[in-house]
Amino acid sequence: MRISDERYSRDLRRIELARRMLALQARTRTVARWTGMTMSRIRAMYHAYDVVDTPRRVPRRGITPFCVNLFWKSAVVRCEAAILAGFLRQFQVWTEETGDAAVDRLPSLTRGERLCGALEEFRGLRPDSELTLEHGMTLLTQLVRGVEIELLRCPQCEGLMLRDRLTVGKILCAFCTYEQQAGMAYLAAPKKRVAEPESGEKQQEESEGRQLSFF
């Protein structure tokens, strides 16, 4: 293959990856970082093609999600994040390599294509999930960094789960934690205090030889 053909093929891959990322509601800066395209070109492509099946005519704005607290928002989100992390591993988006240097090497065409494929597969399973492509990128970044969260199997049901590495306590998935708490009161009901008998009644019980409580 000639050099010109290789560059043409690579440029087509960039355009197709940008289209998929925009369709998954990624921000312009995020698409530029993963595809190597300029932001002005990405905005022009967004307006020129119907890449998003919504009434929005401008790309998503604001700060890219970066905090892992979202993944502990609820038991449902916690389980969905574990499923998404499983898809990321299945599609070989991330490996066991960890550290900041590995995080810097994440944005690339090949990994971006795998990332879109993982999220599209996840959306086919959970179409109503609030997790977006950029949430998947945050999850990928934190898993590769290996400081705050990790993916492992629940010791009770062996299902995939995310673990907050900065907390201590028993490690269980959201389902097993719910099953343990089901039917159990969060606060124990206060014990009823038994009134002490009057002095005359107490003397009468002792004289009759009645056995009293030890407590």
Domain ranges within the chain, ordered by starting residue: 3-48, 68-180
164-174, pLDDT tens digit by residue? 887 777 788 88
Question: pLDDT value at position 61?
Answer: 61
Average pLDDT over residues 61-88: 84
Question: pLDDT value at position 92?
Answer: 92
Stronger pLDDT, 157 or 57, i.e. the higher one? 157
One-letter-per-residue 3-state SS of the chain: CCHHHHHHHHHHHHHHHHHHHHHCCCCHHHHHHHHCCCHHHHHHHHHHCCCCCCCCCCCCCCCCCCCHHHHHCCHHHHHHHHHHHHHHHHCCCCCCCCCHHHHHCCCCHHHHHHHHHHHHHHHHHCCCCCCCHHHHHHHHHHHHHCCCEEEEECCCCCCEEEEECCCCCCCCCHHHHHHHHCCCCCCCCCCCCCCCCCHHHHHHHHHHCCCCCCC
82-107, pLDDT tens digit by residue? 999 999 999 999 877 888 888 999 99
- What's the mean pLDDT when you consider all of the chain? 79
pLDDT above 50: residue 23: yes
